[in-house]
A and B are shown apart, each in its own frame.
Chain A
Amino acid sequence: MAQDSGEPVSQAELAGSPVLLAETPAAPARRQRARIPLAPGEVRWLALPFLAPALVLLGAILLYPLIYSIVRSLFADGPAGGFGSFAGLRNYGSIFTDSSTLRAVENNLLWLVVVPTIVTILGLIFAVLTERIRWATAFKTVLFMPMAISALASGITFALIYADQPSRGLANTITVGIHDAFGSSSAYPTVFSNDAAAYSGSASAGYTTKSTFAPGSPALLPLTGLNLQSPPPDARQAAMPSAARGVYGVVWNDFRLGGGGTAGKIDPRELGLPGIQVQAIRGSQVVATTTADAHGGFVFPGLTSGRYQLRLPAANFAAAFGGVSWLGPNLITPAIMIAYLWIYAGFAMVLLAAGMSAISRDALEAARMDGATEWQVFRRITVPLLAPVLTVVFVTLIINVLKVFDIVFIIGQSAGANQKYSDVLAVSLYNAFGNQQYGLASAIGVILVLAVIPMMVVNIRRSRKEQR
């Protein structure tokens, strides 16, 4: 494992793996342990001073609250959060009827379905890929590091990444960059026309010419508003297309810096609007579509007869893509899940890597000698032998995800009014607690306990096996 040093391996495993690797060499030593016979007359309550502090604390802070909460969950809220009248299971019912707690239940289910699986798979991928890399230690340290950091700090870190304005948050800067790189952003968000005589429509609906154009009569489509401080790099002096057949014309920015020029006429130093989309319309049907060249010229060579209206569709003028609202109602839960994944992928990786180092190298090498591909080795040998560790990782993540609080609370709070869309059960419990809805809070708590009972049983069974 990454942390190899002078320490004997068996000792490290002794400390590290009572749960995970019951089959390690250290385990038999534990199993053989038997009771030490007491000397005659020795008193059995000698253990009490050693045990008492722990038992008192466990009884007062864990066991008693467990029983108290179960009872409390069956009662309505009295004054100041005290016991009210007996309510049966009504507190439990209201978890599934109240819209805010119901959303928390749904979110929790989403967490359960998505997160443990993805984190386990990622951890497995990283563990396998780093197995033969010499600087695996460095890689593992980097990925494991978030485990040491508080969820508060991670939450602030990711709230920073998800900041709404594209210029501030990394996630949106990348999203906008990718979006723009694929060219679907509009080229001319500032360009428009005020010429009500020439066009009907608007920038948001697209502009349609009022007059119609026949083949051979050039169409002049003036617009204004182009950012002349930084015009499109490929924009050139506006001009009619050279090889003009069919319906043709020019779309240009009918304005030049420094003044002069005539409205509605192509003057020197006025730029074409390259790439702008032009549609030819007959009746109300779009019959042809083209885009303008660097000089703003466009041609419909196929339209050789008839008269057509021309339209500059709204897509040309759509406002710039402003990024995604990561912490908005729809994406806030997935966004928080990504932060969680950042924290726990290293955890899964380290556990699985430890499990893999316990797999006999002979089995792997023998399979490779027999001509098995790396994929076959992975699928047929590594994964089955790793199954117990995979289970532990997966179940641990399920328990953690059930109780997830800090990271959801912090990122949610930074999202302001959208916080409610991120709620999970543990956050609902905290809110109910703050509102002195102790019956409801206790019921949520009991549900969380019920949900971890299967894991409790597994732990106890495994521990009993070891005691024998």
Chain B
Amino acid sequence: MTAIAGADIVTGAISRSRPARIAARTGGGALRIFLVVVGLIWLVPTFGLLVESLRNPAQYANGGWWNAVAHPAQLTFSNYSALLKNHAITSSFLNTIEITVPATLAVVLIGAAAAYAFAWMDFPGRDWLFLIVVGLLVIPIQIALIPVVRLYSVLGISGSLYSLWIFHVAFGLPFAIFLLRNYFAGIPRDLIEAARMDGGSDLLIFRRIVMPLGLPAIASLGIFQFLWVWNDLLVALVFSNASTQPLTVALASQTRQFGNSIDILASGAFLSLIIPLGVFLAFQRFFVQGVLAGSVK
């Protein structure tokens, strides 16, 4: 890709007259500066949050975070050490992990099984059922809050981690099935048929052929679901209780008195974004693919 673009520039330069070339070059310079400025503007909010999280909260009243950039001596880790001693925050951080990891694994497993059935098994009403799943892709979670709250109280799991897992998995499934079924269906037919000829069961084909070959799509799904659950606020606001609430809910309650809890909010928000950010930077390719495919959600 880079090579192609490079070649383009070269041939373009040769075919152009000298004034055009100069114009292109200066125009390119302005373009580069513009893009750098835009990029910096996009970085400033997060950078400001980081600096604010490293300041003594008393200084918030005296001026914005940029003062600390001029005086780096003001920076301290005290907000973070206070955060790690704050039981409400640490336990909610652990809750976030406990909610996210099982909800991600379950959606991958259940979604992949269903996707395999939709892609490679024959059963009555298969195509109709799949269309229903596609239709459910855009259903807003808001519609389910009240009925599911009632359902959970009947089942006796209100406020539990189960209640959060079930909800996240269910609302992750339409996308999971949609994404994986389309990917699985692209697996060469010969592979599957050969395995069937050899007497391989569906379970075997699913585990030994479809799952390994579907790994890129599964990775996309996993990362997408991980970020979705990790970053969720609304579902947790409704279904978690004091002992199961994730970090987002614990911090959201602090935003009511924004100026007074800036130390917890800034450092807590940074704590909550650093893991998704790491996941995003490490697996950017899969994440982008997930977003591309999930743009209907």
Chain A positions near chain B (C-beta within 8 angstroms)? 1-5, 7, 11-12, 14-20, 26, 29-30, 33, 35-36, 38, 44-51, 53-55, 57-58, 60-66, 68-69, 72, 81, 126, 129-130, 132-134, 138-139, 141-161, 163, 167-170, 173, 342, 346-347, 350-351, 354, 361, 392-393, 396, 399, 402-403, 405-406, 409-410, 413-414, 416, 426, 429-430, 433, 438, 441-442, 444-446, 448-449, 452, 455-456, 459-460, 463-464, 466-467
Contacts and interface: CB of A to CB of B under 8 A. Distances in A.
Contact of B255 (A11, A44, A413, A460): A413
8 contacts: A58-B136, A142-B39, A152-B233, A160-B65, A169-B64, A406-B234, A445-B146, A456-B138
B231 interface: yes
Contact of A61 (B116, B167, B177): B167
B80 interface: no
Given A19-B296, A403-B142, A459-B137, 15 more contacts: A14-B183, A33-B189, A50-B121, A54-B110, A133-B32, A148-B276, A153-B49, A161-B45, A170-B48, A402-B140, A426-B140, A441-B146, A442-B146, A445-B146, A467-B130
Given A354-B292, A405-B234, A149 B63 contact: no
B119 to A, nearest CB: 8
A16 B117 contact: no
Nearest to A455: B138
Contacts of A138: 39
A149 B39 CA distance: 17
Contacts of B97: none
A1 B286 CA distance: 12
B252 A410 contact: yes
B296 A54 contact: no
Interface in B165-215: 166-167, 169-171, 173-174, 177-179, 182-183, 185-186, 189, 192-193, 196, 202, 206
A35 B138 contact: no
B111 interface: yes
B21 to A, nearest CB: 14
Nearest to A133: B35
B295 A148 contact: no
Nearest to A350: B288
Contact of A430 (B39, B122, B133, B237): B237
Q: Is the interface of B mostly helix, strand, loop or mixed?
A: helix
Contact of A18 (B31, B140, B270, B293): B293
Nearest to B287: A148
B13 interface: no
Interface string B126-161: 110111011111111011111110010000000000
B39 A152 contact: no
Contact of A69 (B116, B117, B147): B147
Given A12-B289, A445-B142, A54 B5 contact: no
Given A18-B293, A61-B170, A153-B273, A1 B288 contact: yes
Contact of B5 (A132, A139, A160, A350): A132
A132 B9 contact: yes
B144 A61 contact: yes
Nearest to B8: A132
Given A30-B185, A60-B151, A168-B63, A142 B281 contact: no
Given A12-B216, A44-B123, A129-B31, A54 B111 contact: yes
A11 B218 CA distance: 13
B120 interface: yes
Given A167-B62, A459-B135, A17 B292 contact: yes
Contacts of A4: 1
A77 to B, nearest CB: 11
Contact of A139 (B39, B146, B216, B251): B39
A151 to B, nearest CB: 6
A14 B182 CA distance: 8
B77 interface: no
Contacts of B171: 61-62
Nearest to A71: B147
Interface string B253-280: 0011011001001100110110011011
B237 A2 contact: no
Contact of B259 (A163, A167, A426, A430): A163
B81 to A, nearest CB: 20
Q: Is the interface of A mostly helix, strand, loop or mixed?
A: helix
A6 B215 CA distance: 15
Given A30-B185, A460-B134, A61 B148 contact: yes
A160 to B, nearest CB: 6
Nearest to A162: B258
B230 interface: yes
Nearest to A63: B136
B43 interface: yes
B99 interface: no
Q: Which of B113, B129, B269 neighbours the largest number of chain A CB atoms within 10 Å of its CB?
A: B269
B192 to A, nearest CB: 7
Contact of A143 (B2, B39, B131, B281): B39
Q: Which of A33, A57, A66, A347 neighbours the largest number of chain B CB atoms within 10 Å of its CB?
A: A57
B216 A167 contact: no
B49 A157 contact: yes
Contacts of B280: 144-145, 147-148
Given A69-B146, A459-B134, A18 B64 contact: no
A173 B5 CA distance: 41
A58 B288 contact: no
Contacts of B61: 168
Given A62-B170, A350-B288, A452-B140, A152 B231 contact: yes
B114 interface: yes
Contacts of A354: 288, 292
A53 to B, nearest CB: 5
Contacts of A35: 122
Contacts of B266: 156, 160
